């Protein structure tokens, strides 16, 4: 059984399905006996990054903090799953360089679909001007140029997306095919 650590970095707009796929992936990997830790952007902001705002500098700091924790976990043979909008390409690239064993997963979803899924009403508030600097509305989201995996989350189920990630982990040598087939 492979015990190499890796960071699986989910990026995409709010509501694109990052956290949902991450949780499915976590369950599959734990079922294989792997050590897994999920770092969800909302949870991290409440704890590790409490007090940070949403300026570009604060967002960069938040994403670098998540990246540093992923780096520590990965070098200790843990599969770290980061699920954060992480809108800026240069900070994702910084984390890729820091961590090394890094698999970028783009949860690609139309903004229209993300807005339909928005249970917190954040897009509506952003469009009404109640929230400013909201990614995808009045702040940019820089799509990854060469992610290892693209999940078309408005065209496939979360389970299909998770399976796509599992296959890529296998292909890259982070999972043995025998481990995956046990599922």
86 is catalytic: yes
Instruction: Report d(CA 110, CA 30) in Å as an integer.
Output: 31
**Using an 8 Å Cβ cutoff, are 100 and 74 in contact?**
yes
Written as one string, the DSSP assignment of 29-56 is HHHTT--EEEEEHHHHHHTTTTT--SSH
Nearest to 74 by CA among 12, 19, 9: 9
DSSP 135: B
Structure tokens at 122: 């954040």
Tokens of 25: 């992936």
Which one is catalytic: 14, 16, 19, 86? 86
Instruction: Taking the CA atoms of 67, 60, 21 and 121 in sequence, report the sign of the dihedral they define.
Output: positive
Of 94, 106, 107, the C-alpha closest to 66 is: 94
Cα separation, 103 vs 25, in Å, equals 13
Active-site residue set: 86
């Amino acid at each position: 059984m492979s015990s190499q650590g890796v960071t699986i970095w989910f990026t995409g707009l709010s509501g694109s399905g990052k956290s949902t796929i991450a949780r499915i992936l976590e369950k599959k990997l734990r079922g294989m006996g792997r050590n897994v830790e999920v770092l969800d952007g909302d949870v991290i902001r409440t704890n590790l990054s409490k007090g940070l705002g949403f300026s570009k500098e604060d967002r960069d700091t938040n994403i670098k903090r998540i990246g540093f924790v992923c780096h520590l976990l990965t070098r200790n043979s843990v599969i770290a799953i980061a699920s954060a909008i992480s809108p800026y390409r240069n900070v994702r690239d910084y984390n890729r360089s820091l961590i090394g064993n890094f698999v970028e997963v783009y949860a690609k979803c139309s903004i229209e679909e993300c807005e339909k899924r928005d249970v917190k009403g954040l897009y509506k508030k952003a469009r009404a001007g109640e929230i400013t600097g909201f990614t995808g509305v009045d702040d940019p989201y820089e799509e990854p140029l060469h992610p290892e995996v693209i999940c078309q989350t408005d065209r496939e189920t979360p389970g299909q997306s998770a399976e796509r990630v599992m296959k890529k982990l296998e292909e890259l040598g982070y999972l043995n095919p025998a481990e995956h087939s046990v599922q």
